[in-house]
Amino acid sequence: MASDIESAEKEATQETTPVPATAAASATPAATAPAHTTSARDAWYPAGKRDLFILRELVSKDFKLKYRRSVLGVIWSVLNPLLMMLVMSLVFSFFLRYDNIEHYPLYLIVANITWQVFADSTNAGMMSIIDAAPLLKKVRVKKSVFPVEKVLFSLVNFLFSLIAVFVVMLWEGVPPTPMMLLAPVCIVLLMLFCVGLSLLLSALAVFFRDLVHLWSVLLMAWMYATPLFWPVSMIEQVPYHIVRVLMYVNPMYNYVTFMRDTVIYSTLPPTEVILSCVVWALVSLALGLLVFRSRERRFILFI
C-alpha cells in the first residue's frame, strides 16, 4: 500500500514539472515564425493612391507656405498678372508702339500667364530633388513625385490667374465663346511638357549644379525669343531663315498661340500649331522619364 502511494506521488510530480523555456521554443515549429507585416497606412494606401496622397499633401503645404503671413493671400495670384499686364501695357504701348495689336492688354496677359506657369514649374521642378534631400535620405518614397508636385502647384496658381484674364476680357469687351473650351486642351499639353522638362532638369541638376544658374539665363533668352509682348508678325522680319524656323518651332510660341487663338480670337489654332503642341508634350515627357528613371538610383549619392 505504501509503495502504491509513493509511485502515485512520483507520477504527479512528473506531470506538474514545468517545461523549460528553451525546450518550448525548440518545440515550436518554424511555420509559426512571424511573417512580413504591412503597416496600416500602406494597407489603406496602395502604391498609386499613396502617391496621390503625397502629391495632395505637398501641394497643400507649398500653397500654405507661399501665402503664409500675407494679408491678401491667394488674391495675389489674381493681382500679380493684372499688375504685370498694366505695367507692360504702358511700357510697350507708349514707348515701343505696339498699341496697334488688337486687344493688346488681353494679348499680353494671356501670354504672360502661359509663360509664367512654364517658368515657375520648371524652375521649381529643377530644384525639387535637391530640396527634398533630407526627406529622401530618411524615407523611401517615389522620387518622381517631387518634380510632378511642383508642376501641379504651378497649375493651381495658373488657374487662379485665369480670373485676371476674365477681368481683362470684360474690360476689353471680348465675350467668351465656345472656342474657349479648347483652352483646357492646351493647358493639359503644356502641363505634360512642363512635367517632362521638370523630370529632365531635376535629374540633371543633381549631378550638374551649374545647370541651376544656367537655366535662368536660358529662360531669359527663351522669353525674348517668344512673342509674348511683341507682335508675331515681327518673326518674318528676322533676316536668317534658320532663325525664323527655330522661332516657329519654339514650343512656347505654339502654346502661347494656341491660348491666344482660343481665348482672344475665337478661332481654331492652325493644324501645325496643334501638332507641334502634341509632339513637344510627348517628346518632353518621354525624354524626361527616360533620363529620370535611368539616374534616380544614384540620386542618394549626390544629394
Determine the residue type at 12: A
How high is the pLDDT of residue 205?
Answer: 92
Q: Is 166's pLDDT higher than 60?
A: yes
Of the candidates 224, 210, 217, 215, the one whose C-alpha atom is nearest the C-alpha of residue 123 is 215
**Listed residue (117, 109, 110, 100) closest to 231, CA to CA:** 100
- In tens, the pLDDT along 3-61 reads 444 454 444 444 444 444 444 444 444 444 444 444 444 445 555 677 777 777 777 77
Give the C-alpha separation, 105 to 229, whole Å: 10
pLDDT score recorded for residue 298: 86
Span of 82-91, 100-109, 153-162, 200-209 with lowest mean pLDDT: 82-91
* pLDDT computed for residue 198 by the predictor: 94
Whether the Cβ atoms of residue 106 and residue 165 lie closer than 8 Å to each other: yes
User: Pick the residue with more confidence: 19 or 83?
Assistant: 83
Model pLDDT for residues 237-252, shown as the tens digit of each residue: 888 889 899 999 999 9
Residue 196 buriedness (CB in 10 A; 0-12 / 13-18 / 19+):
buried
Give residue 45's pLDDT. Answer: 54
Q: Which has more pLDDT, 303 or 206?
A: 206
Angle value at C-alpha 129, between 123 and 131, nearest 5 degrees: 80
Higher pLDDT, 2 or 55: 55
* pLDDT band for position 74 (cuts 50, 70, 90): low
* The predicted structure's pLDDT at residue 28: 41
Rg for the chain, CA atoms, rounded: 31
Q: Is the pLDDT of residue 70 over 70?
A: no
Q: Which amino acid is at 31?
A: A
Tell me the average pLDDT of the chain: 79
How far apart are the C-alpha atoms of 270 and 188, rounded to whole Å? 18
**274 Rama sector, left if φ>0, alpha if ψ -120 to 50, beta otherwise:** alpha
pLDDT in tens, 244-277: 999 999 999 999 999 999 999 989 999 999 999 9
The C-alpha cell at 213 is 544658374
Environment class of residue 265 by beta-carbon count within 10 Å: exposed (0-12), middle (13-18) or buried (19+)?
middle
**How far is Cα 5 from Cα 154, in angstroms, rounded to an integer?**
91
pLDDT at 48: 61
The cell numbers describing 220, all together, are 531669359
Dig out the grid coordinates for 8 from the structure. Answer: 502515485
Q: Which of 3-7, 145-149, 174-178, 191-195 has the highest mean pLDDT?
A: 191-195
Average pLDDT over residues 63-81: 68
- CA distance linking residue 246 with residue 133, whole number of Å: 37
Residues 120-148, mean pLDDT to the nearest whole number: 86
What is the pLDDT at residue 183?
Answer: 92
Tens of pLDDT, residues 89-122: 666 666 665 657 788 888 988 999 999 999 999 9
| Mean pLDDT of the 183-210 span | 94
Q: Mean pLDDT, to the nearest integer, of 284-291?
A: 95
Nearest to 256 by CA among 108, 78, 99, 80: 108
pTM, two decimal places: 0.77
Q: What is the pLDDT of residue 255?
A: 96
pLDDT score, position 137: 82
